[in-house]
Amino acid sequence: MARALIIGGGVAGTVTAIALKKAGLEPVVYEAYDRTADGVGAFLTVAVNGLDALDAIGLKDRLVDKGLDTPRMAMHLGASGKKLGEFPFGSAEDGTVYQTFLRADLYTALREEAEREGVEVRYDRRLVDAERTGGGVRAKFADGSHAEGDLLIGADGLHSRVRTLLDPDAPRARYLGLLNTGGFASGVRIGAEPGVANMIFGRRCFFGYFTHPDGRVWWFANPARAVAPTAAELAAITDEQWRAELIRLFRADRTPAVRIIEATPEIFRPWATYDFPNVPIWHRDRMVIIGDAAHAVSPASGQGASMALEDAVTLARCLRDVDGIDAAFAAYERLRRDRVEAIVVEGKRNGDAKAVGPIGRLVRDFFIARAFRKSGDMPDTSWTWNHHIEWAERVAA
């Protein structure tokens, strides 16, 4: 039974481990943080294609009740306060709809599933180095320990160490010109239907929110910043300054954004957003990268977690069916690269519409409103979520 060292216990790493168990391999997950670091703060949406990937390995029904049904999206302009239209977020033939999870709930549920499947997870193990040995791979960790396996999977996220080990010249992440922030507001009545994701192109900033059936409002905002702020610059902003800045950004809009922000006890500290349009080397010497490590997408795509889930299940199928580890990695890349790179392009396009100046904003609002008037709908993006993985189908080399 091939032993797979999985670096990173996020969405990609944990689900890969579960899928590899089902495929007959022996996975071990090495996670840099201890388990109390689960899924800090925010929330994320898993699209129907991500749920389809979970379904392929029998996890969808076990997880879906941890999330919130998010079947529809409504688009608004902040300057006029006008709702342009409302449309399905993308739903599968069986009625499956997008799910929005608290990050912590999703991570905890995935880790519980991994435990149930008997996956070994070792916390406090930060990979620092890895090398090919005669018969496999050796991984070295910051605490001085090491591990041996037949293959190594880098599911270690945006700042992947495995990506740099595969290719010291790997491209750096591309800054997207947007920060991300958000929170949970209580006691604010805005009369929005639960589960409808409201997206607002504001005069100065993009705002998204929806009402949870418990009455709270979950929201996010994407303030534009032309130059990527450093971690120190972001850390230097006080909570009061950040709240005041957000209120300033939304004051001129005719939307509930300011009331929602004012009713939020704790606003998430801002973070800069990045993607990877093209990482040339995904695998070499029995090591491979998946998820954000290989192809982080803009948060504006709403597909980062779903791409990680598709990767995880596809890689497990390839390792199950294709003879030879490097040949299995090549099959995985063949099945995944075009799709994820197209999603990165789509996410960048969505994000760019959020980061425009005052003149660009007028042009953007004009064209968005015109598109809605003409078709009553948004451009068809069903290719992003209309994707199916058949677990039982054999992968050809």
Q: Is 304 in the site for ligand FAD (CB under 6 A)?
A: yes
Q: Is 12 in the site for ligand FAD (CB under 6 A)?
A: yes
Contact pick of 161, 336, 348, 361 for ligand FAD (by CB under 6 A): 161
Question: Quick one: 77 or 305, whose CB is closer to ligand FAD?
Answer: 305
Residues in the chain: 397
Binding string, 99-128, against ligand FAD, x = CB under 6 A?
Answer: ---------------------------xx-
| Residue 22 CB contacts under 8 Å (≥ 6 apart), including other chains | 57, 58, 117, 316, 391
DSSP 91: B
Contact pick of 183, 195, 291, 351 for ligand FAD (by CB under 6 A): 291
Q: What is each CA distance from 181 to 9, 157, 166, 189, 383, in whole angstroms?
A: 24, 19, 32, 21, 28
- Work out how close the CB of 320 gets to ligand FAD at its nearest, in angstroms, rounded to a whole number: 21
CA–CA gap between residue 295 and residue 311 (Å, rounded): 10
Question: Quick one: 84 or 153, whose CB is closer to ligand FAD?
Answer: 153
Q: Report how far Cα 368 is from the mean position of its chain's Cα atoms.
A: 26
DSSP states along 20-44: HHHTT-EEEEE-SS-GGGTT-S-EE
Binding string, 20-59, against ligand FAD, x = CB under 6 A?
Answer: ----------xxxx--------x-xx--------------
Q: Is 306 in the site for ligand FAD (CB under 6 A)?
A: yes
Question: Quick one: 78 or 154, whose CB is closer to ligand FAD?
Answer: 154
Residue 137, φ and ψ in degrees, nearest 5: -140, 145
Question: Quick one: 79 or 165, whose CB is closer to ligand FAD?
Answer: 165
Question: Quick one: 11 or 344, whose CB is closer to ligand FAD?
Answer: 11
Neighbours of 341 (CB within 10 A): 16
Contact pick of 155, 246, 267, 344 for ligand FAD (by CB under 6 A): 155
Q: If 0-12 CB within 10 Å is exposed, 13-18 middle and 19+ buried, where does residue 109 land?
A: buried
| Residue 329 CB contacts under 8 Å (≥ 6 apart), including other chains | 282, 283, 288, 318
Contact pick of 113, 156, 333, 346 for ligand FAD (by CB under 6 A): 156
Q: Is the dihedral of CA 92, 277, 107, 216 positive or negative?
A: negative
Q: Is 305 in the site for ligand FAD (CB under 6 A)?
A: yes
Only one of the segments 10-18, 56-64, 254-262, 376-384 lies at the binding site for ligand FAD (rule: CB under 6 A); that segment is: 10-18
Q: Is 292 in the site for ligand FAD (CB under 6 A)?
A: yes
List interacting residues with ligand FAD (CB under 6 A). Answer: 7-13, 30-33, 42, 44-45, 126-127, 155-157, 161, 291-293, 299, 302-306, 308
